[in-house]
Amino acid sequence: MNNQVLPESEKAMLPFTHREWERRAREKLEIGPYSFISGNAGMGETANSNRAAIKEWKIVPRVFRDVEKRDLSIELLEKKFSTPILLAPIGVQKIMHPEGELASARAAADSRIPFIASTMSSYSMEEIASVMGDAPRWFQLYCSKDKEITKSFIKRAERSGYSAIVITLDSSVMGWRVQDLENNYSPFRLGIGLANYFSDSTFCSKLVKPPAEDFAAAFSIFSKINTSASLTWEDLEFLRENTKLPILLKGIVDPRDAKLALDHGVDGIIVSNHGGRQLDGSIAAIDALPKVCYVIGGKIPVLMDSGIRTGTDVIKALALGASAVLLGRPFAYGLAVAGEEGVKQVIRNLITETEVSLGLSGYHSIKSLDRSLVVK
Ligand SMILES: Cc1cc2nc3c(=O)[nH]c(=O)nc-3n(C[C@H](O)[C@H](O)[C@H](O)COP(=O)(O)O)c2cc1C
Ligand SMILES: O=C(O)C(=O)c1ccccc1
């Protein structure tokens, strides 16, 4: 089903609130996929903290400051973007909707919001690129234990028009996800999320038969060379040598790691705790942001995700020093509920609410936002 042709009556009925998108997604999906998306690590304490901490920050709006024209544009890695919002890398999107990443990538392209394709996508990075025209896209890399595969992924991303590499560092091993254990649910076992591997000539050269002919053998090799847990700062050198694209590190919350990232010459960092899906009990992302921004001192962009739900959340993160934010689960629910049109609607609503909130805060541009806008 192509959701571009969603009837007008149904479009009008699409939700406005995160809660309602989530409720509708829950209605639509089986328990396994729904819980995989909504689920968190452990007791969900970090996921709760992400929201609680954002709520604790309060906006102190200014008045009489001419907010007739409101400009959401930003500059990031020497490129101009019309909003400070990107779609976070989310793997296995076919569990949300049959069109998976193709639908969300088209929706992102429609608003010129950068789409970050996950290593664990259910369509290959080339297939995703092919529906995006020249719209901005980045590639998120989980480094394989096999360096040749990592190299191959980077080259493929370069060739298919991805303009930055995001290296996720908070997932050396999968978090303790009780819901998935209880449901005995794993998208991989269903063969979802392996498209980049199964379409990779370096990976396939290790197989006797193509993945389509012997899934079990291909899956077994994938399981052996999947994400590496032995990476250290030294490995950045290998990555740096293998691409001229900007490199961003995702999953940094300690200012010492931010400083190390800066010293190692990365091009940006993403403050994130993976939405609370990895280490339960870890610090709320928005609480980690100010100190990280302080040590970075504006030298490279600091992006942030984990808990962003509304336009006011976006404004708070930017006031606390983020250059841009990544939208995670909200668009995943949009995709589950109404495919491409759902993601478009989630993006449009978030952009509009951000713009309204910027004006009501007494600021006319993202550039003019400053730390004094928020207090605890
Ligand atoms: C279903 C799902 C899959 C995800 N897959 C990836 C992934 O493949 N790579 C990655 O770096 N982060 C992944 N993330 C984390 C997101 O990029 C982002 O950090 C997180 O969703 C932010 O939290 P929030 O959704 O609560 O705002 C995933 C998150 C979800 C919900
Ligand atoms: O579930 C996640 O958070 C995640 O990062 C992931 C990793 C591999 C496949 C799908 C999702």
Q: Which of 343, 307, 349 is nearest to 325 (CA)?
A: 307
Query: For residues 333 and 299, is the Cβ–Cβ distance under 8 A?
Result: no
**Which atom of ligand 1 lies at the shortest distance from residue 273's CA?**
19
Q: Which residues pair with 374 in a beta bridge?
A: 59
- Give 274 Cα–ligand 1 centroid separation in angstroms: 5
Does 94 sit in the ligand 2 pocket, CB within 6 Å? no
Which position among 18, 97, 264, 274 bears the catalytic label? Answer: 274
Distance CA 120, CA 141 (A): 9
CA nearest ligand 2 atom 3, residue: 277
Q: Report pLDDT for 25.
A: 98
Residue 325: phi and psi, rounded to 5, are -125, 155
Query: For residues 145 and 225, is the Cβ–Cβ distance under 8 A?
Result: yes
Relative to beta strand 324-327, strand 302-304 is parallel
Return left, alpha or beta for 306; rule: phi > 0 is left, psi -120 to 50 is alpha, else beta: left
Relative to beta strand 115-117, strand 58-59 is unpaired
Does 90 sit in the ligand 2 pocket, CB within 6 Å? no
Tokens 């040749």 sit on residue: 148
Helix runs in the chain, H state only: 8-12, 18-28, 31-38, 45-56, 100-110, 125-130, 147-159, 178-183, 195-198, 201-204, 215-225, 235-241, 255-263, 285-296, 311-319, 329-360
Please tell me the total number of residues recorded for the chain in this structure: 376
Query: How is domain 20-375 classified at the architecture level of CATH?
Result: Alpha-Beta Barrel (3.20)
Q: Report pLDDT for 4.
A: 54
- Give 152 Cα–ligand 1 centroid separation in angstroms: 23
Q: Report pLDDT for 29.
A: 98
Mean pLDDT split into 10-residue runs, the chain, 376 residues: 60 91 98 98 98 98 98 98 99 98 98 98 99 98 97 98 98 97 96 98 97 96 94 97 98 98 98 99 98 98 99 98 99 98 98 98 97 97
Active site residue 264: no
Distance CA 363, CA 173 (A): 42
Q: Which residues pair with 303 in a beta bridge?
A: 270, 324
Tokens 């991303």 sit on residue: 157
Residue-wise pLDDT tens digits, 55-83: 999 999 999 999 999 999 999 999 999 99
CA nearest ligand 1 atom 6, residue: 90
At 170, list the tokens.
Answer: 């908070």
Distance CA 108, CA 86 (A): 8
Query: For residues 94 and 195, is the Cβ–Cβ distance under 8 A?
Result: no
Q: Which of 119, 174, 180 to mutate to test the pocket of ligand 2 (most atoms within 8 A of CB)?
A: 174
At 22, list the tokens.
Answer: 């989530």
Distance CA 289, CA 226 (A): 30
Quote the distance between the C-alpha of residue 4 and its chain's center: 23
Distance CA 231, CA 221 (A): 20
Angstrom CA distances, 149 to 124, 146, 233, 252, stand at: 14, 6, 19, 24
Q: Return the domain boundaries, the chain.
A: 20-375
Q: Report pLDDT for 1.
A: 42
Distance CA 169, CA 277 (A): 13
Distance CA 304, CA 196 (A): 26
Residue-wise pLDDT tens digits, 292-347: 999 999 999 999 999 999 999 999 999 999 999 999 999 999 999 999 999 999 99
Does 250 sit in the ligand 2 pocket, CB within 6 Å? no
Does 172 sit in the ligand 2 pocket, CB within 6 Å? no
CA dihedral 19, 21, 23, 27 (to 10 degrees): 180
Distance CA 158, CA 149 (A): 14
For ligand 1, residues with CB inside 6 Å are 37, 88-91, 118, 120, 140, 168, 250, 272, 274-275, 277, 305-308, 328-329, 332
CA nearest ligand 2 atom 11, residue: 91
